[in-house]
Each structure stands twice: as C-alpha cells, then as structure tokens.
Amino acid sequence: MVAAAEECTAALQAGADGDWSRPAGGLDWSAHATLDHLALGLVGYAGLLTARPTDRYIALFASLDPAAPLSARLEGIRIAAALLAATVRGAGPGDRAWHPWGHSDGPGFAAMGVVETVVHTHDIARGLGLEWTPPDGLCAPALRRLFPDAPAGHPAGRTLLWCTGRDVLPGQPRRQEWQWDGSVR
C-alpha cells in the first residue's frame, strides 16, 4: 500500500504544472476531485477495518485541503496510505468489515487501497496528458485478490485497467460495468 502511494504520487508530481481542474481520464471528476476521492477512500478503508461494521459505511470522511499546494496534497495521499497500511498490519486474521463489494479482511482492504491508488493515478495522469501505466508488481497481488476471474496472459497493470473498465485487452471487449470481489477466500 505504501509502495503504491509512493509510486503513484511520484508519477503525479510530474503533472504538477498541469490543469488539475480538467476531468481525470474518463471520469466526470476533476483531477483535484479524484485525488480527494482517493484520500477519502484510503482513510475510509482504514476506518472500516478499525470499526468493523457488518452492514454499512462509517461516518468518517477525510479530505485534502483544496488550497494546499500539490506537493502537500500528494503528501496527504501518502499519509492516508500509511494509515491504511498500519491498520492492515494491526488487524487480526479474523477481523472482517463490510464493503458493498464483499465483506473483507485486512489483506482485502489493502488490495482495495492499491486498486484505488493505481487506477485513480492512471485517471489523473490521463487527464493531465501524462503517460502512466500501473506497475505490474503493484497490481498482480491486488488483481489476484479482488479479480480472481481476470483473464490470464496479459501484464498485470493492463489487466487491472481492463478489469476496471479503463483499457482494452486483446480478445476482450472493454468493460462498461465492473466491480471487484472483496470477500475473503
């Protein structure tokens, strides 16, 4: 999780002078709003794993200061990732928490955090005109955990983008709708 945040924030720093009010990739959100969504998701996953609700989201919301310089907002992403990583490390093997796409455990929430981080970094990079593909080494474990039926024989980063409707794979139609399976296996 922390490695994903380091890799992704370094990639986004390259777009520091870009127009962050532009849409992030194929999303309706701006690059700024997408970065804020990422911070919310990472802290939210840590909160879910801490509170361990069985049927709902929790009331904790986190956001980045919109007036802060980009370097400080990227630091916020690294902090949120570190909070999630620490929560995952502290979770017991039997700890479970609700998520609409499958009740999950610590490793499942870590995988969700990695997917959110790399996919939204890809979205923001596209919106800023940067070429960036998620690294296979970061994506492979999350792909195995959350998308067990993903097609084999393709690089993990591209496959993860395909699984989340952001890329095409040879011989596969582009996904219009998607969700992961966070259940414990």
Are 184 and 103 spatial neighbours (Cβ–Cβ below 8 Å)? yes
Within 10 A of 78 (CB to CB), how many other CB atoms are there? 15
Predicted confidence at residue 180, as pLDDT, reads: 98
Structure confidence at residue 185 as a pLDDT band (50, 70, 90): confident
Question: pLDDT tens, 70-99?
Answer: 999 999 999 999 999 999 999 999 999 999
Tokens of 92: 């017991």
pLDDT(117) > 90: yes
Tokens encoding 90? 């502290």
Average pLDDT, the chain: 97
pTM given for the model: 0.97
